[in-house]
Structure 1
Amino acid sequence: MLASERSALTKADTHGILLRPEHSILGSSDRLGWQSFYASHQEEHPYEASFVANDHHLIIVHLNGPVRIRRNLSGERSEAKVGTGGLFILPAKRDFGVALMAPLETVHLYIHNDLIEAAVRELCRDDLDAVEFLPRMGEHDLLLEQLARLACTMLKEQQTDLFADSVARLIAAQLVRHHTIARHVELPRITGLQPSQMARVRALVAEKMEAPLSVDDLARTANLSPIHFARQFKRTTGRAPYQYIIEQRVERARDLLRGHLSIAEIAVRCGFTHQEHLTRMFGRLTGVTPAVYRRSLL
């Protein structure tokens, strides 16, 4: 299933930890329309509860600590003192119980199972049913910690689903490569895209700029899998696919600002979700707002 065919993930798709009255939500992706993963940033307070299985994989990253955690996973009980950056990984379709002994600041990431399945198909020799996802409690994974902290920034900036989809694919690939028991394939060499592949990608972005383009769309144009495409694209351009799309949209906006269309209409024609989104991205790349840039032309 493509990202454009999925519904946005919300609190309703979580285990319900975030719905408990003890916790204070500092930010979440509920209203951002992210379809590939759900993110929340909160202050949790001591509690003990059991939760039924969920269809999506859960990663919790501790932003402070240490704090003592007890877990009951399918009758197997464990306890650990988890420090800053420690992980709590719960594979999909597993009931569990947890007890938190002290206040804790966390990021919760729910990765859509579609992305996990796609990563398994590309990164493992085994079928999905033969891949065992490993529960974690207290282990460290620097990349997952960095991506969790990036998710906090994305929540504050109200980033779009395009950015979220790219981050979710990185998380899914890291989860499959480093937190499973499976026969992993050797990744192809990073040699960059062929000129013909890059030309097709450029043409697609120019033609479909108003549409909600995804990494899947660009990868299909280059006849590559999404994970392999993203790696080769970064080698060719020095940028992630979502960064390239944003840059092209801002460049189109610069051209249109020479005319008489309203800034709101320009935002729509360049594929931004609204005028504020265009203003934020335009300012980040050019240092000025669209309105200031237009006045400078006059």
Structure 2
Amino acid sequence: MQNNLEPSLSINFSKEKEEGYKRIFKRSPLVSSMSVGWNDLVIAYDQYPPGEIPKISVKQHCLGIYTNMPSFVQTERTINGRLVREQNIQGDCVIVPANTSHQVAWNHEGGALTIAINPTVFAQTIYEVVDPDCVELLPQFATPDPLIYQIGVALKSVLTKHGTSSRLYAETLINALILHLLEHYSTNRPNLSECIAGKLPKYKLQQVIDYIYAYLDRDLSLKELGTVVQMSPQYFSQLFKETTGITPHQYVIRCRIERAKGLLKQGLSIAETATQVGFVDQSHLHRHFKRLMGVTPKTFSQQFKKRKN
């Protein structure tokens, strides 16, 4: 039974990282962004047995995305003193703005993704085009949102499969999530598709391209690429897509495949090629190579050798 009179447990994920999670749930999550080295992101996935969490107040905006659920879960949730009895299903999401009290109890096991985003990141997302002081994220009890659910599933997959080399992809997903939240779950909702216009100047685009090719073997981040052209990560990501038609992550993958083709033609092994172009392993290269080229790296190498002979 929830007790709304008890004091809130104050959590700051930016400082506490996984320790903050453990203070709430008394254990580590099954997988988290911290465990794969994304220290500037706070994302955690876990399976939760029936139970409850105490009243908490977090310094970050927090989202809960129900990704693995039975038919429904009976939940009592209190946000900012308001109690709502929910029937949570897969695809539901919950939004708790920063410094807002939150308490919840539930009766069945289920899997969910937790995302914590610093309020400053929200401001950086739009400050070039919209006054962030005029926008406030609103609390949201459990509600289905297909786009947020898809982003949650994708983030879970990235964490569990290729976390150590997919930070750029995760940041791209978080960026899309922030823009969606700002447009649909905030006060004075800006139409960002109208606000964000224009393209990168040619010289700045070339600076980014040169930087990407120079550091293909690194786990590049949006912040790193944005710094090259003195832009916030989010604004850079938007202008890059407007200019090239694809996201920075998609562009980096294509650059890696192009370089991989050259290395394979030089006779490098598939495993060595994967390492030199920044893929986490041979299977990671295999998956993207086949998707973009229509053949596997092995087949590509064999075909090139036949043509050469």
What TM bracket, shorter-length normalisation? 0.7 to 0.9
Secondary structure at the residue paired with 2:83?
strand
Aligned counterpart, 2:219: 212
**CA 1:161 to 1:92, structure 2 compared with 1: closer, same or farther past 3 Å?**
same
Native 8 Å contact 1:126 1:182 kept in 2: no
Sequence identity (%):
27
2:263 pairs with 1:256? yes
Aligned counterpart, 2:7: none
**Structural mapping, 1:1-298, within 5 Å:** 11-14=18-21, 16=23, 19=26, 25=30, 28-63=32-67, 64=69, 65-119=71-125, 121-122=127-128, 124-127=130-133, 132-159=136-163, 160-181=166-187, 184=190, 187-188=194-195, 190-222=197-229, 224-298=231-305
Q: Name the CA distance, whole Å, in 2 between partners of 1:120 and 1:193.
A: 16
The Cα offsets for residues 77-100 of structure 1, whole Å up to 9 and x where unpaired, read as 333333442221122334432111
Give the superposition deviation at 1:240: 1.1
Paired residue total:
287
Native 8 Å contact 1:9 1:37 kept in 2: no
Letter in 2 for 1:118: Q
**CA 1:112 to 1:254, structure 2 compared with 1: closer, same or farther past 3 Å?**
farther
Letter in 1 for 2:187: I
Letter in 1 for 2:276: R
Q: Name the CA distance, whole Å, in 1 between partners of 2:33 and 2:283.
A: 18
Native 8 Å contact 2:63 2:116 kept in 1: yes
CA RMSD in angstroms comes to: 3.5
Unaligned runs of 5+ in 2: 1-13
**CA 1:124 to 1:198, structure 2 compared with 1: closer, same or farther past 3 Å?**
closer
Secondary structure at the residue paired with 2:53?
strand
Give the superposition deviation at 1:145: 1.9
Q: What TM-score does the superposition give when structure 1 sets the normalisation length?
A: 0.77
Q: Name the CA distance, whole Å, in 1 between partners of 2:52 and 2:243.
A: 49
Give the superposition deviation at 1:214: 2.3
The Cα offsets for residues 58-117 of structure 1, whole Å up to 9 and x where unpaired, read as 211224444332123344433333344222112233443211133333232233555334
Q: Name the CA distance, whole Å, in 2 between partners of 1:114 and 1:282.
A: 37
Native 8 Å contact 2:64 2:94 kept in 1: yes
Q: Name the CA distance, whole Å, in 2 between partners of 1:281 and 1:69.
A: 41
Deviates more, 1:47-56 or 1:184-193: 184-193
Give the superposition deviation at 1:138: 1.9
**CA 1:184 to 1:141, structure 2 compared with 1: closer, same or farther past 3 Å?**
same
Unaligned runs of 5+ in 1: 1-6
Native 8 Å contact 1:86 1:137 kept in 2: no
Secondary structure at the residue paired with 2:36?
coil
Give the superposition deviation at 1:270: 1.9
**CA 1:9 to 1:124, structure 2 compared with 1: closer, same or farther past 3 Å?**
farther
Q: What TM-score does the superposition give when structure 2 sets the normalisation length?
A: 0.75
Native 8 Å contact 1:272 1:278 kept in 2: yes
Give the ranges of 4+ consecutive aligned residues of structure 1 lying more than 6 Å apart after TM superposition. Answer: none
Give the superposition deviation at 1:185: 7.5
Aligned counterpart, 1:4: none
Letter in 1 for 2:244: T
**CA 1:20 to 1:78, structure 2 compared with 1: closer, same or farther past 3 Å?**
farther
Give the superposition deviation at 1:248: 0.2
Letter in 1 for 2:259: R
Native 8 Å contact 1:200 1:221 kept in 2: yes
Q: Name the CA distance, whole Å, in 1 between partners of 2:191 and 2:72.
A: 36
Secondary structure at the residue paired with 1:253?
helix
Native 8 Å contact 1:8 1:36 kept in 2: no
Secondary structure at the residue paired with 1:53?
strand
Give the superposition deviation at 1:168: 1.5
Letter in 2 for 1:81: Q
**CA 1:234 to 1:14, structure 2 compared with 1: closer, same or farther past 3 Å?**
same
